[in-house]
Amino acid sequence: KNEVEQSPQNLTAQEEEFITINCSYSVGISALHWLQQHPGGGIVSLFMLSSGKKKHGRLIATINIQEKHSSLHITASHPRDSAVYICAVRSRTGNQFYFGTGTSLTVIP
């Protein structure tokens, strides 16, 4: 069983749709990261969360520590949002990172 589970694996949306990607984890964490990986491979860190909610532009990330669950929302989606979104957690006990398998998002014009 993976320490980090993401859903859905693949997602196709129409432009302007509201998108939600979910992440559940099973270990105690010090932080949860949402990452964006474009087809060329480069990775950008979107959010780092340890509690509550963060917003950056059209992106919103929430985390519920008690339920060990986080969501990434994209409002008014755009084709340039097409990418793989990866949830990663850093263990509370040390430098261990666990990664979800990613959600491949395609936004159609």
Partner 1 sequence: GAVVSQHPSRVICKSGTSVKIECRSLDFQATTMFWYRQFPKQSLMLMATSNEGSKATYEQGVEKDKFLINHASLTLSTLTVTSAHPEDSSFYICSVGGAYNEQFFGPGTRLTVL
Give contact residues for partner 1 (rule: CB under 8 A): 30-31, 33, 35, 41-45, 48, 50, 86, 88, 90, 95-97, 99-102
CB of 13 to partner 1, least distance (A): 20
Beta bridge partners of 70: 23, 63
CB of 33 to partner 1, least distance (A): 6
* Structure-derived torsion over alpha carbons of residues 105, 40, 70, 98, reported in degrees to the nearest 10: 130
| Closer by beta carbon to partner 1, 7 or else 30 | 30
| Closer by beta carbon to partner 1, 41 or else 109 | 41
